[in-house]
Structure 1
Amino acid sequence: MTQARAQPKPAEQAGPKPAQIDRNGVLILIRSTLLALDQANKTGNYTVLRDLGAPAFQVNTAARLAEIFAKQRSDNLDLSGVAAIDPQLSLLPQIEPNGLMRMSGFFPSVPSQVNFDLAFAPVNGQWRLFGLSVALGQAAPVAPAPQPLVAPPPAAAPAPAPVARKATPERKPAQPASPRH
């Protein structure tokens, strides 16, 4: 008996590839996303952050985003410095096999740095927010290794709905790395 199997498309076989985006485009995406989060945290109004996202990100209600970022809000986390400081990228913008553009890095500052992991989906010729993770960490010359933000879906299953992730303090390097929540 013979069985037919669907062959993966070339894009599914290949790993991530560098994104075709210039430095200014990268800075705009990072800064606008983190400033939108900062303003949402300061006002308690997450509708603009939600509405700036891709349709798959918009499955998060403004109330759900408020829950996710409640700790940052209660800690009065101030992300406004991202407007003036240049980010250091630990993961250059790349297109994942699932079509998302992902980048990770940090904004150095003393005594802590702002670590970020962002994913964007292409929507009508524009990159729109798909997922984000933001956390404070210790100032260091290099960012911690990025953890998976969104897992690519299995070949036959639909993609899971993206969600924003809570900020959690970075673990000390001596401890085993674990995904951020």
Structure 2
Amino acid sequence: MKLFDLRSPIGLLVRGAAAPLAAVLLVPGATAGAQEQPAPAAQQPAPVPQGSNVPPPAAAPVPSEMELARLIWSTMVTIANANGSGNYTVLRDSSATGFQIANDPSKLSQIFAGLRASRIDLTTTLLTAPSYTAPPQLLRPDVFQVQGYFPLRPRAVVFDMAFQWQNGEWRLFGVSVEPRIIASPQEQQQPAAE
């Protein structure tokens, strides 16, 4: 299964700790092997006439290292607040439109039930910089994906996030968060028992 399938503007479903680590795009009626079809000419945007006062759509800026960390930290804090209060409205409402369409607050509560049950304090991710397992990847001109973890002990917090440029800012488009136990350096270096 692809991590992100961006053939539809519907939005991404998020997952908590109970589901496998992946964010899945909800595409009604789509099949796994479907090919992306170009939009018919009638649906393509009309060119802006010369001399009109209509500005071109804003180009999505490449986030700096600090901006990227801020996006990740703010997402962690928003999820932590939603898990603590049981109210996922702010998480939903601060996300990209497609995310909002695909996820109502009660659905987000169900999705994050496993993460809530793990009782991990996601605000501790503010104490350290995120470590990246891959460089940020542009999935389409207005969406990028970033994967990594916060090296906390005894449980690291692994994340996989996508952000969409919308209304002049990066907004959450998909998220996956999972606590994982990390072996201590001594356990990693011990030879296997024979």
TM-score, L = length of structure 2: 0.60
Report the counterpart of residue 73 of structure 1 in structure 2. Answer: 116
Aligned-residue offset at 1:140 = 6.1
Q: Distance in 1 between matches of 2:143 and 2:134?
A: 14
- Give the structure, 1 or 2, with the largest relative contact order (CA under 8 Å, sep 6 or more): 2
Name the amino acid aligned to 2:90: V
Counterpart selection for 1:126 from 169, 177, 182: 169
Regions of 4+ moved over 3 Å: none
Aligned-residue offset at 1:74 = 2.4
Aligned-residue offset at 1:89 = 0.7
Residue-by-residue CA offset, 1:58-104 (whole Å, 9 max, x unaligned): 02100100010012212322111111111101122221136411100
Structure 2: gaps (5+ residues): 1-36, 39-60, 185-194
| Matching of residue 93 in structure 1 with residue 168 in structure 2 | no
| Matching of residue 49 in structure 1 with residue 91 in structure 2 | yes
Q: Distance in 1 between matches of 2:109 and 2:150?
A: 23
Residues 142-153 of structure 1 correspond to what in structure 2 (within 5 A)?
Answer: none
Structure 1: gaps (5+ residues): 7-18, 142-181
Aligned-residue offset at 1:39 = 0.7
Q: 1:126 to 1:81 in 2, by over 3 A?
A: same
Q: Secondary structure at the match of 1:101?
A: strand
Q: 1:68 to 1:44 in 2, by over 3 A?
A: same
Larger Rg: 2
Question: Which of 72-81 and 41-50 deviates more?
Answer: 72-81
**Identical-residue share of aligned pairs (%):** 38
Aligned length: 125
